[in-house]
Amino acid sequence: MQRYQNPIIKGFNPDPSICRVGDDFYLVTSTLEFFPGVPIYHSKNLVEWELINYCLTDDSQLNLENCGCSQGIFAPTIRYHDGTFFMITTNVSGKGNFVVHTKDIRGKWSHPQWIDHEGIDPSLFFDDDGKVYYSGTTQDVWGRQGIAVFEINPFTGARLSEAVIVSYGAGGKHPEAPHLYKLNGYYYLVLAEGGTKYGHMATIFRSRNPYGPYESCPRNPILPTRISRDRPSRPRAMLIWCKIRPATGGRYA
């Protein structure tokens, strides 16, 4: 049994994102107004972590001029595909969403490739057919926040298709932090919604197509923040590892 004690990484490390490459795990976090940007941690067991590098180490990669408190770099996502690492994130006090890449996780990362899409919480999904999809927040013509998906070139940041709003969540406000996964022919869309206070929750949806339509899991929210009116308490952040079971009989397993 692997023993651990929280926090597994001490200090200021919000919005963790993890990818696995063989027996190695790599984790990045938000850095907001601090420089260098987006630390990279390495682990073999998900418990003991070592800081090995930063994604954004030059002024040309990270412009924080006139950046206010709690602005700057929001919610990075790290991915690995075909020998290359990708990190996608948002500079909310700069030019918005961008992606960088490298073949050497301990070496120099590329210059930012800016993405023509507003919103936050960008993520990348590499499909089996070679297509790469961007997911992130957006607003429709009525100002409602939703989740957009479009095809992207992860090396240049160029959009290769029109953005399609695929979800408005499962009823919570501010649907955000989307991530796409695929298992047994289904695309799974995982979201955070309900705001960042007492209504915060995680929800999941599935579809046969990355552009939807997505059906909501009947067990949503899969991770709620339950606060009793009689016994108020502060919600706690949790990192949950799970294996998505295949769907059978047209229902969620």
User: What type of residue sits at position 182?
Assistant: K
Structure tokens at 40: 């990279």
| 189 close to 202: Cβ distance less than 8 angstroms | no
Pick the catalytic residue from 15, 33, 118, 215. 15
User: Nearest 5 degrees, angle CA 154-CA 158-CA 159?
Assistant: 105
Pick the catalytic residue from 140, 151, 176, 193. 176
Name the 3-class secondary structure at 58. coil
Cα 196 to Cα 12, 172, 176, 219, distances in angstroms: 18, 11, 10, 21
Active site residue 176: yes
Structure tokens at 204: 């999941």
d(CA 246, CA 252): 8
| Helices and strands: H and E segment counts in the chain | 0, 17
Active site residue 15: yes
Structure tokens at 116: 């023509």
Please list the active-site residues: 15, 176
